[in-house]
Amino acid sequence: MTPPLPPQNTPPAPPIAVDLLITARWVLPMAPHGACLEHHAVVVDQGRILDLLPIAAARSLYAPREQSDLGEHALIPGLVNAHAHGAMNLLRGYGDDLPLLRWLRERIWPAEAEHLSEAFVHTGTLLAAREMLRGGVTCVNDMYFYPAAMARAYLDTGLRAIVGLIVIDFPTRYGAGPDDYLARGLASRDRFRDEPTLRFSLAPHAPYTVGDAALLRVAALAEELDLGIHTHLHETRSEIAEHLSAHGCRPLARLHRLGLLSSRLAAVHAVHLEDTEIALLAHHGASVVHCPASNLKLASGFAPAARLLAAGVNVALGTDGAASNNRVDLLSETRLASLLAKGVSGDASAWDAHASLRAATLGGARALGLESRIGSIEPGKQADLTAIKLSAEELQPLHDPAARIVYSAGREHVDAVWVAGHARVRGGCLTAEMPAGLEATVCMWQNRLVSSRIH
């Protein structure tokens, strides 16, 4: 039997209707590592990335309802700020130029004891979320008090967030102790658990502020509820020395003994690590969140970032709170991380620009257990995207877009930001208007903080 002839002159398939087509001179998808595509388009539908392909092919295949032609821009996955205390934007500049423990005991903890409230946290977190979005951040891992107020602020602004349910041994205006913090935190999680841009984690403040019983409960709850663990670790030498005399071991060893060391763990700072501790973190698949500006400002030291990467530890980047950094600016952390890694390791090839961008995107996503949903520009992932305008005069000439972004550009060059396909920044400005009364409320908190320092 004669096989049927192939159809002649088949008309081309009609274009596929999609929500959004974004075209850019460069697309840095982060997967595969180091890739830099020219004249490509990202196709977005229902909040997800549907396709990544050359612009000409995209125009013939898709019929977008909206189009964003970025021109001489680089499109990267949205930045992931893997450690922040959003509400502390209200404490920016409140305790500058002090070492960590004096800063905490003389400034931050007394201010929190007097002023912490739902309203304080909501206002501070709103400020932080707006600052982060303008700076190209699309996801933040936050740890603070009043998780319901944090959640509302992130929902109000559209920034994707992991809300850390704080656990700390001492009472605050928010809670009476570890059991109370956990009960309140888990109730907030229940209230917001269906919000698609929110996730929750367990956030024991640090081994030096949380006892064994609470840490054991955190380890058990993390397994039971499938939650990540977000904690400060080995930030300063004095913290480790105090822990040694109180517990007879270094903090990481105690976390290991109590069952907190796993791929669920995002260990923030990890400035002071021995080789065996780096190997232990790598073996258990734990992540380190490197916060270079905060570590420098509090004179905590230099995290062994290049050695961590070389050992196979997943490294993310964080800003920490505005009280210990004073810029909630993750893009500037990519530059600082690269420069510091080179200086500390004595190796100019350490932490190249691609490594820094990876830590700020995919590394962050992995630290938060979100690597299947965000962190790279790949079909199926959420359309969390940041466009950086590389045509500015001060960024010329241009040889390598990744190096240009990390070493030369700043957050002032962030031109557009999408979270789950929703435009949150256009033309360098937030698409949402400033909430009514925000400026006056910030001024009110500033006056209260000033008067509490005087008395």
Name which of 83 and 424 has its Cβ closer to Zn ion. Answer: 83
Among the listed ranges 179-187, 188-196, 319-327, 412-420, the one in contact with Zn ion (CB under 5 A) is: 319-327
**Taking CB under 5 A as the rule, which mask of x and - marks residues 268-307 in contact with Zn ion?**
----------------------------------------
Closer Cβ to Zn ion, 320 or 384, answer by number: 320
Q: How far is the CB of 272 from Zn ion (least distance, A)?
A: 16
The residue within the footprint of Zn ion, chosen from 45, 51, 320, 333 (CB under 5 A), is: 320
Helix/strand/coil (H/E/C) assignment for every residue in the chain: CCCCCCCCCCCCCCCEEEEEEEEEEEECCCCCCCCCEEEEEEEEECCEEEEEEEHHHHHHHEEEEEEEECCCEEEEECEEEEEECHHHHHHCCCCCCCCHHHHHHHHHHHHHHHHCCHHHHHHHHHHHHHHHHHCCEEEEEEEECCHHHHHHHHHHHCCEEEEEEEECCCCCCCCCCHHHHHHHHHHHHHHHCCCCCEEEEEEECCCCCCCHHHHHHHHHHHHHHCCEEEEEECCCHHHHHHHHHHHCCCHHHHHHHCCCCCCCEEEEECCCCCHHHHHHHHHCCCEEEECHHHHHHCCCCCCCHHHHHHCCCEEEECCCCCCCCCCCCHHHHHHHHHHHHHHHHCCCCCCCHHHHHHHHHHHHHHHCCCCCCCCCCCCCCECCEEEEECCCHHHCCCCCHHHHHHHHCCHHHEEEEEECCEEEEECCEECCCCCCCHHHHHHHHHHHHHHHHHC
64 or 318: CB nearest Zn ion: 318
Mark the segment that binds Zn ion (CB under 5 A) among 90-98, 169-177, 209-217, 318-326: 318-326
Residue nearest to Zn ion as judged by C-beta position: 320
Shorter beta-carbon distance to Zn ion: residue 24 or 368:
368
Number of residues that bind Zn ion (CB under 5 A): 1
The verdict on 239 binding Zn ion (CB under 5 A) reads no
The least distance separating Zn ion from the CB of residue 280, rounded to whole angstroms, comes to 22
Q: Which part of the chain contacts Zn ion (CB under 5 A), choosing from 22-30, 240-248, 312-320, 386-394?
A: 312-320
For Zn ion, give the closer residue by CB, 297 or 354: 297
Nearer to Zn ion, 24 or 162 (CB): 162
| Choices 130-138, 201-209, 301-309, 313-321; region in contact with Zn ion by CB under 5 A | 313-321
Minimal distance in Å, beta carbon 21 to Zn ion?
39
Other beta carbons within 10 angstroms of residue 181's beta carbon come to 27
In this structure, are residues 80 and 375 in contact, taking their beta carbons and an 8 Å threshold? yes
For Zn ion, which is the closer residue by CB, 239 or 320? 320
17-25, 108-116, 314-322, 403-411 -> range binding Zn ion (CB under 5 A) = 314-322
Residue 152 or residue 232: which is nearer to Zn ion going by CB?
Answer: 232
Cβ closest to Zn ion, residue 317 vs residue 388: 317
Region of 194-202, 203-211, 316-324, 443-451 interacting with Zn ion (CB under 5 A): 316-324
Least distance from Zn ion to the Cβ atom of residue 100, Å? 10
Tell the residue number behind the tokens 């008090």, with chain if given: 145
What residues line the site for Zn ion (CB under 5 A)? 320
